[in-house]
Chain A
Amino acid sequence: MEHRPRSFYVLTAFFCLFVLFLYGPTLTIAILSFQGESGGLTFPMRGVSLNWFRELFQQQAVGDIWGAFRRSFALGLMVMVTTVVVSVMAGLAFRKRFAGAGVLFYVTIASLVIPSILVSLGVGLIFGQAGLTVHWATSGFGSQLTWTLPFGLLIMFAVFNRFDPSYEEAARDQGASPWQTVRHVVLPIIAPSLIGVALFGFTLSYDEFARTLLTAGSYNTLPLEIFGMTTNVTTPVIYALGTLTTLFSFLIIGVFLLTVWMLARRQARLGSDAGMGV
């Protein structure tokens, strides 16, 4: 083992502190969600109970958490599928130079950096002036796409910048049509990255707040519901909810990462051995 410089140990300590800073608060509310029945929002723990989780599953005094969860889940899936399809198409488009590509690229970047509240306000105004009712599945859906699509497209850029075009040339030389080339050569190669795009699409939608605020209408998504709770719920039930949704997020992230890992392994196993010989 090579000798490590002292800076390595200092930086390791710094990194550990950073990770503690990232996860510490989340762990704190996870512990506090098991607070005893007479306990409050802060330590000390007054006993240990599942009281606050039980309360989540009972008839709600305020709001409709499970309805909000179902809506957020459905919306997350809608946004996920749309983000993957639209990003791949746009990613393919940007591989070739076309007139106006630069403008479209900058508009996409603008979509990423524009203050979210402007999207919320603008979409809300359009629907209001057109006499339409805002709804999470229409205006909310579109607003969230302005946040997820730029991420999707940027990932596609990163993917295609590293993509070896000789695979496509080979397919073309074998007589594959452009569609066959995309379907049987390009898509299978970029599949693991598409899982990444899907992960961004789902999680960013599932947690999105600012762009959905004025565009979700009378049926709240989960983040809106949770934010509403912060103003009128003063018991650890909000920690129990926070813990459950965070666990759910971790589960989703785990499933996605596992899929990427398995796809990558499969590719490595079944991939070509061209160029491997001596």
Chain B
Amino acid sequence: MNGVSRATVTGWLLASPLVVVLAGFLVLPIITIVVVSFWQTTEFAIVPAFSFENYEFLFGSAVTWKVFAATFRYAVITWALTLSIGFTVAYYLAFHIRSQNVQIALFLLCTIPFWTSNIIRMISWIPFLGRNGLANQTLLDWGMIDEPVEWLLYSDFSVILAFVHLYTLFMVVPIFNTMMRIDRKLLEAARDGGASGFQTLVHVILPLTKPGIMIGTIFVLTLVMGDFITVRFMSGSQSANVGRLISNDIGLLQYPSASATAVVLLCTVLIMIAILLRFVNIRKEL
């Protein structure tokens, strides 16, 4: 065939359903958002235009900067917590469990919640954290507090708790996956060389686990950055992040303004991922 190889034609034919879905429900929607972000809102409708007013308003508002800062804060705290918990759990599963069947069973135990509803997993914190919840009752019984603590539910604390609860799996799975591919001879060599268990962990396992950590990091950061429902629900609508800014605008039918915020959020997330991808080759890690 002239110019176009057969492999290319077969490749695109086989991939065509994927291309159709991604073009129609990912690429086109994003182009639309970018276009609409330059439109204007009148009292009754949104009108096509090429105006920077949405962006000017967005960047000119102190609220935007505060909300972006809050979003980054959620992302960084959640990342640090999910990474430490996820790494420890993956390390335990990969290096301390010797029977493969037990390993598979425990791994599934960690992943099953991923296949259940996030909304219900959020709701299930209410009886735990509420004013009369289990946590407060227990602390009262133990005499550690004199009256119920108010900041357990509907606070930044509960938001981050829910994030960690929902997203630690996204760290456990890729880190565990990378750890399982570490050649066990390297650990023996480290031990023979006189390294302590901790030294082996820091100088052998940790560097070799970096790709898994990066993939987990990408997942957790993008999920938290783009979230709007966890923050809304767990903070009792008292805290804001970028996602909520967008969903509030949508609620008010302010689509151009919502689109402008969405474009800025998208650019932020893509820049973060571009930086992280410099450290890892995803396709090699599967």
Contact B33 A125 (CB under 8 A): yes
Question: Which residues from A are CB-within-8-Å of B32?
Answer: 122, 125-126, 129
Which residue of chain B has the shortest Cβ distance to A145 in the bound complex?
A: B21
Docked complex: B164-178 residues within 8 A CB-CB of A: 165, 168
Which residue of chain B has the shortest Cβ distance to A9 in the bound complex?
A: B96
Which residue of chain B has the shortest Cβ distance to A30 in the bound complex?
A: B124
Q: For the complex, give the distance between the alpha carbons of A117 and B120 in Å.
A: 19
User: Are A93 and B11 CB-contacts (below 8 A) given A28-B128, A41-B127?
Assistant: yes
User: Are A28 and B127 CB-contacts (below 8 A) given A98-B10, A119-B25, A149-B21?
Assistant: yes
B67 at the interface (CB under 8 A from A): no
Q: Which of B92, B120, B128, B219 has the most CB of A within 10 A?
A: B120
Docked complex: B74-130 residues within 8 A CB-CB of A: 85, 88-89, 91-93, 96, 106, 108-110, 112-113, 115-121, 123-128, 130
Contact A41 B130 (CB under 8 A): yes
Instruction: Determine, out of B12-20, B52-60, B205-213, the stretch whose residues face the partner at the interface.
Output: B12-20
In terms of DSSP, what is the predominant structure of the interface of chain B? Answer: helix
Contact B22 A122 (CB under 8 A): no
Q: Smallest distance from the beta carbon of A35 to chain B beta carbons, Å?
A: 10
Instruction: Determine, out of A56-64, A244-252, A269-277, the stretch whose residues face the partner at the interface.
Output: A244-252
A50 at the interface (CB under 8 A from B): no
Docked complex: B213-266 residues within 8 A CB-CB of A: 218-219, 222, 225-229, 233, 243, 246-247, 250, 255, 258-259, 262, 265-266
User: Are A114 and B266 CB-contacts (below 8 A) given A25-B124, A90-B15?
Assistant: yes
Partner of B17, one of A89, A146, A158, A238: A89
Question: Which residues from B are CB-within-8-Å of A97?
Answer: 7, 11
Q: For the complex, give the distance between the alpha carbons of A23 and B114 in Å.
A: 11
A32 at the interface (CB under 8 A from B): yes
Q: For the complex, give the distance between the alpha carbons of A19 and B112 in Å.
A: 11
User: Are A214 and B250 CB-contacts (below 8 A) given A113-B273, A209-B229, A242-B120?
Assistant: yes
Question: Which residues from A are CB-within-8-Å of B88?
Answer: 11, 14
User: Are A111 and B26 CB-contacts (below 8 A) given A42-B126, A104-B18?
Assistant: yes
Contact A246 B24 (CB under 8 A): no
Question: Which residues from B are CB-within-8-Å of A26?
Answer: 113, 116, 120-121, 124
Contact B30 A122 (CB under 8 A): yes
Q: Smallest distance from the beta carbon of A138 to chain B beta carbons, Å?
A: 10
Question: Which residues from A are CB-within-8-Å of B118?
Answer: 207, 209, 223
Which residue of chain B has the shortest Cβ distance to A19 in the bound complex?
A: B109
Contact B127 A242 (CB under 8 A): no
Partner of A100, one of B12, B91, B124: B12
Question: Which residues from A are CB-within-8-Å of B7?
Answer: 96-98
Which residue of chain A has the shortest Cβ distance to B247 in the bound complex?
A: A117
Question: Which residues from A are CB-within-8-Å of B5?
Answer: 98-99
A153 at the interface (CB under 8 A from B): yes
Q: For the complex, give the distance between the alpha carbons of A15 and B95 in Å.
A: 13
Q: Which of B29, B108, B134 has the most CB of A within 10 A?
A: B29
Q: For the complex, give the distance between the alpha carbons of A249 and B115 in Å.
A: 7
Q: For the complex, give the distance between the alpha carbons of A238 and B130 in Å.
A: 16
User: Are A29 and B124 CB-contacts (below 8 A) given A43-B134, A122-B29, A207-B117?
Assistant: yes
Contact B286 A158 (CB under 8 A): yes
B28 at the interface (CB under 8 A from A): yes
What is the 8 Å Cβ interface bit string for chain A, positions 217-246, against chain B (1 contact, 0 not)? 000000100110010000000110010011
Contact residues of B with A, CB < 8 Å?
4-5, 7-8, 10-19, 21-22, 24-30, 32-33, 36, 85, 88-89, 91-93, 96, 106, 108-110, 112-113, 115-121, 123-128, 130, 132-134, 137, 165, 168, 197, 218-219, 222, 225-229, 233, 243, 246-247, 250, 255, 258-259, 262, 265-266, 269-270, 273, 282-283, 286
Q: Which 6 A-B pairs have the closest CB atoms?
A: A122-B29, A115-B226, A98-B11, A93-B14, A25-B124, A203-B115
Given A154-B286, A223-B118, output 18 extra A-B contacts at Cβ < 8 Å: A11-B91, A11-B96, A18-B110, A22-B165, A25-B121, A25-B124, A28-B128, A43-B133, A89-B15, A99-B8, A104-B15, A117-B228, A122-B30, A124-B250, A149-B21, A206-B117, A214-B250, A242-B123
